[in-house]
Structure 1
């Protein structure tokens, strides 16, 4: 009887030293309770890519490093293993999105429609050269001059937005209704999210309406505390809400900082002249 030669066992592939070192560094940046699990997953993927050459492994490691920040956020929020889109939205994230979407229209409209046109078309210089003996009607300045009548409804959008930006209580209402409405429409499948937005919208709209009525009754054109509170909230949430993308956080901080020159303009002679021109 002839005994056959047993088949030779193929040695299991091993990770290269540089791959192990890279995975160790990436895993060290993760929370302690999640490191070994994720390192084992990365190691298995790299072993599966052993036949792909060093280029495939290098691209995988670069991709793992790029997604490391989002993975850290996912683990810290207790959502490891779930799709990021399925994570519940917290109160801070909701408030940040409402402010971002609600402040964008009025603040950008104010920048474009009032100081943008006022200084862009050198209204102060033209008034000074004319000895202030004649007025420059805002309707004669772009885009209201030389354009057909049918886009008037389009120009009404930045006009109303600029008007809302100058009145703190009214801006509060706009942020609650516009920002809250858009956010609710984008996340309409989340009942808890909708309930939070409805509550924020009702309280903000009621508070803003009362403050706006009080400001009009007292012949006050603006409510600086409301503007300052919105600006501070936007800057604080933009700087601390890590669940938002970097561009969204930067935009939110920029919108909050835009309220600073708006507030300053209320206390300067140049600002009073600018608003007098706008209302004329």
Structure 2
């Protein structure tokens, strides 16, 4: 009480009260066990908050990095405009990666990067697939977490993968063409990037490294649709989709 009265700022008092209330359950459990030896020095990060942060870092970071590698980096490094000007024809993005001889080991990496780059460009149900796979990975990784939370992550991951698989099958059989409906062009990823930025600013109980990664991820995701609006971005997008 003396510490509370010594605070002059009303906001600081509220933070003190909320912080004290947060530790009450842990104090009660320690008292029931008969001691405080194993009581953590600081309040644990809420499991939902950490799960959301890790899901965003994996589910959005995966396709974002794939887009960066397969579209702008490859476009510039392989001098695609120069190749098109010299050959007056199409430059296949798949032909720019070495996959013969000992480089055949790069084929799975190339396929994975291409699929995730497409997911970033198309968005919608296709981007759900990366979050589904990330949810499954987190469910397998968090062995020491509660069983209920792992089951929820696994179920949500399978549901997202199922939706992506159905959308992919419908597209392959000609049921719909996402490019004819207007490309997402990374707008879904940008919206998720805004969420990552908000979590980086408000998730004060997350580690500094996690918050920094979320901030960088959000900033990069927001730039994707902006890049696609530029002249060079349109050229890159047409080249990759063709």
What TM-score do the two structures reach when normalised by structure 1?
0.60
In 1: Cα distance, 2:136 partner to 2:109 partner: 21
Cα separation, partners in 2 of 1:86 and 1:208, compared to 1, 3 Å: farther
Alpha-carbon separation, structure 2, partners of 1:181 and 1:84: 31
**2:128 matches 1:172:** yes
Q: Deviations over 1:114-162 (max 9, x none)?
A: 111101232224434x2x6133332442445886334322322222221
Structure 2 distance, partners of 1:88, 1:253, is 18
C-alpha contact 1:136 1:277 (8 A) present in aligned 2: yes
Decide which moves more: 213-222 or 103-112: 213-222
Match of 2:84 in 1: 127
State the SS of the aligned residue for 2:103: coil
- Residue in 2 aligned with 1:186? 141
Answer yes or no: is the 8 Å Cα contact 1:110–1:158 preserved in 2.
Answer: yes
Distance in structure 1 (CA, Å) of the matches to 2:140 and 2:19: 24
Unaligned runs of 5+ in 1: 1-23, 36-72
2:194 equivalent to 1:236: no
Query: Per the alignment, in what secondary structure is the counterpart of residue 135 of structure 1?
Result: coil
Q: Is the 8 A contact 2:99 2:105 kept in 1?
A: no
User: Which residue in 2 is equivalent to 1:197?
Assistant: 153
**Residue 74 of structure 1: CA displacement?**
8.1
Q: 1:247 to 1:198 in 2, by over 3 A?
A: same
Question: What corresponds to 1:17 in structure 2?
Answer: none
Q: Is the 8 A contact 2:129 2:164 kept in 1?
A: yes
Residues matched between the structures, number: 215
| 1:219 to 2:174 alignment | no
Distance (whole Å) between structure 2 residues aligned to residue 198 and residue 84 of structure 1: 32
Superposition RMSD on alpha carbons, in Å?
A: 4.0
Other-structure match for 2:214: 252
In structure 1, C-alpha distance between the alignment counterparts of 2:108 and 2:164, rounded to whole Å? 26
Mapped partners of 1:217, 1:265: distance in 2: 30
Aligned to 2:60, what secondary structure does the other structure show? helix
Structure 2 portions without partners, runs of 5+: 28-35
Aligned to 1:107: 64
Match of 1:138 among 93, 102, 121: 93
1:100·1:251 contact (CA, 8 Å) conserved in 2? yes
Partner of 1:91: 48
